[in-house]
Amino acid sequence: MRKQDKIFVIGHKNPDTDSICSAIAYCDIKNRTFQNKRYVPKRAGQINEETEYVLNRFGIQPPGYLSNIGTQVKDMDIRMSPEADKSMSLKNAWDLMQENSIVSLPIRDKEGCLEGLITIGDIAQTYMDTTDSYLLSRARTQYRRIAETIGGSVIEGNEHGYFTEGKVMVGTADPDKLREYVRENDMIILGNREEDHLQAIEMNVSCIIVGMDIQVTENVLKLAHEKDIVVISSPYDTFTISRLINQSIPVRYIMKTENLVTFHTEDFTDDIQDVMIKHRHRAFPVIDKKGKCVGTISRRNFLDMHKKKVVLVDHNEKDQAVDNIEKAEILEIIDHHKLGTLQTMQPVSFRNQPVGCTGTIMYQIYGEQKLEIPPKIAGLLCAAIISDTLMFRSPTCTLQDKMAAGALALIADISIEEFAKEMFKAGSNLKDKSPEEIFYQDYKKFIAEGDVTFGVGQISSMDEDELKVIKERLEPFMVSECGRHGVSRVYFMLTSIMNRSTELLFYGEGSKEMAESAFSMEADNGSLYLKGVVSRKKQLIPALMEAAQMQNEYA
């Protein structure tokens, strides 16, 4: 299975214990049910203290963080490039590009890091520049590469040496005329006349090239050896040699090394489109997380991108989903909330049940699939149910939740009451947290009739004194927070688990009136005391939504 085809299972932003534990459990179910697919749990936000305690308690690693599920460069069909280093000749590079039907060739070092880039156009331009007789020496061309390019071999001298001075010329004139043009250290292409070979040696050239597989005399080879002159034999005629020889220069001489436009595998495609349009190169090198060049992409790769595949748990609202959810392919949704705003391009498996926790649904799926629940997973799911139902005190709690929690507690070998106290204590330890961290620890955004956008945060605690301290810290923060992220009204639930009650704080124009209308009572000192209200989903949000609708009708 392709690496990018792995399926992410993820809960909502500002994840709670249910969304994290259900994601982990569903991956366990799927990976044990479908061997040819890989399900990976992810989280769309920071884990709170309660969830961290639960994961540590059962020795489970937290899911990896995924802030954006939009398509990335690694989701494209990256074209793998053949191995190419800067010492290879232009002809070798050209042949590689023709064999692989590519127009751009990344040049990499021994570790695979990008050193430069060469294109078909670069090679063609060099090939067309036939007037530069000093090109090979300026490019410090190796004699071995010259011999390879003209289909020959070095029959005398050091093939690993480099041609570093002088020009390249064809010696077709008579010996006297050659003296006028040939200089020391030049490279000369000659025919079959021994006297020309001897004269070139006398003039102390760097290299003699003899075509047509002509036999060079022992005398010439001996004198060349004495003067460290390289002799190359080629099967080609003089015209072909002179036409091919410029292709022997090393790639490093013409490859681009500065201002290269590269992309990283982790880059989001939304961020690179404008860059591609601006530069309009045929291909762009791609660098992976280790700094290695893995290939190239082009503009046409946008046509066949592989969307990330995702399963959503514990939510079905677009505003609560991981960023760029509309760019992903949603395969399944498993939830226990009201129907939200998410839309899909095609039908998906959507399981939504009126229970108090997604963890309860996971327990049911284990049974349906006839899978044994591992004790650690049982502990996670039991914790999720305890958390979401406030240890069965929430009106969202059903008999199914209680039965599931009881069965899971037996598998995990925990006492529900003792474990709940430890878990809630860990989750309400907020002394060292900033007001912002407390506010957004469990926060959700909602849109009501009349385009009224409001946000609701919640903290549940077994300690009444702690809730009073949190209230003092949050009230001034809510003032500054109102108006951010398009939210015009903010609410915060200070929920007492033991008393089964909530003090509702509010701020923003119309927030007081909406809250008073929702619960048919007047606010006292900037808040409402709601006896018996502990569930945001079932008790608070429906009431606020109805109040917003009424305000809109009478507006």
CA separation (Å) from 52 to 20, 41, 47, 342? 10, 15, 6, 29
Q: Residue type for 543, please? A: A
Detail the DSSP E strand segments found in 104-190.
Answer: 104-108, 114-119, 141-142, 153-156, 162-163, 168-170, 187-190
Collapsed DSSP state (helix, strand, coil) of residue 221: helix
Q: Would you state the CATH architecture of domain 140-248?
A: 3-Layer(aba) Sandwich (3.40)
Burial of 522 (0-12, 13-18, 19+ CB in 10 A): exposed
Cα distance between residue 252 and residue 254, in whole Å: 6
Q: Would you state the CATH architecture of domain 74-126+253-304?
A: Roll (3.10)
Contact between residue 51 and residue 15 where contact means Cβ atoms under 8 Å apart: yes
How confident is the model at residue 2, as a pLDDT?
45
Cα distance between residue 543 and residue 550, in whole Å: 11
Homologous superfamily of the 435-554 domain (CATH):
DHHA2 domain (3.10.310.20)
Cα distance between residue 364 and residue 124, in whole Å: 67
How confident is the model at residue 262, as a pLDDT?
93
Residue whose token pair is 């914790």: 383
Same CATH topology for 140-248 and 435-554: the answer is no
C-beta atoms surrounding 131 within 10 Å: 6
CA separation (Å) from 311 to 1, 74, 489, 512? 18, 20, 31, 37
H-type helices in 369-415, by residue range? 375-388, 399-412
Detail the DSSP E strand segments found in 462-546.
Answer: 489-496, 501-507, 527-531
Detail the DSSP E strand segments found in 314-388.
Answer: 329-335, 349-352
Detail the DSSP E strand segments found in 417-539.
Answer: 443-448, 452-461, 489-496, 501-507, 527-531
Contact between residue 41 and residue 10 where contact means Cβ atoms under 8 Å apart: yes
Residues in a beta bridge with 199: none
Selection from 276, 281, 256 nearest residue 102 by Cα: 281
Cα distance between residue 133 and residue 163, in whole Å: 13
Cα distance between residue 318 and residue 445, in whole Å: 10
How confident is the model at residue 553, as a pLDDT?
67
Domain residue extents for the chain: 3-70+308-427, 74-126+253-304, 140-248, 435-554
Per-residue pLDDT of the chain (555 residues; tens, 9 = 90+): 344 479 999 999 989 999 999 999 999 999 999 888 999 999 999 998 899 999 999 999 999 999 999 999 998 889 888 999 999 999 999 999 999 998 899 999 999 999 999 998 888 888 776 678 899 999 999 999 999 999 999 999 999 999 999 999 998 777 777 777 888 999 999 988 888 899 999 999 999 999 999 999 999 999 999 999 999 999 999 999 998 999 999 999 999 998 899 999 999 998 898 888 888 788 899 999 999 999 999 888 777 788 899 999 999 999 899 999 999 999 999 999 989 888 888 899 999 999 999 999 999 999 999 999 999 999 999 999 999 999 998 889 999 999 999 999 999 999 999 999 899 888 776 667 889 888 988 888 888 877 788 999 998 887 888 889 889 989 999 988 887 778 889 999 999 988 889 999 999 989 999 999 999 999 988 899 999 999 998 899 999 999 988 877 665
How confident is the model at residue 465, as a pLDDT?
85
How confident is the model at residue 57, as a pLDDT?
96
Helix or strand run (H / E) with residue 294 = strand 293-297
Collapsed DSSP state (helix, strand, coil) of residue 499: coil
Contact between residue 66 and residue 37 where contact means Cβ atoms under 8 Å apart: no
Residue whose token pair is 């992409």: 297
Q: Would you state the CATH architecture of domain 3-70+308-427?
A: Alpha-Beta Complex (3.90)
Contact between residue 493 and residue 536 where contact means Cβ atoms under 8 Å apart: yes
**Helices and strands of the chain, counted as H and E runs:** 19, 23
How confident is the model at residue 4, as a pLDDT?
40
Non-local CB neighbours of 272 within 8 Å, separated by 6+ positions: 73, 263
Q: What are phi and psi of 363, to 5 degrees?
A: -60, -40
**Structure tokens that stand for 337 in this block:** 């909330």
**Structure tokens that stand for 545 in this block:** 């939504």
- The angle, 0 to 180 degrees and rounded to 10, between the axes of the packed helices 375-388 and 416-427 is 70
Selection from 116, 438, 429 nearest residue 261 by Cα: 116
Phi-psi region of 399 (alpha: psi -120 to 50; beta: other; left: phi over 0): alpha
Residues in a beta bridge with 453: 447
Spell 453-491 as b/e; 16+ CB within 10 A means b. bbbbbbbbbbbeebbeebbeebeebbeebbeeeebebbb
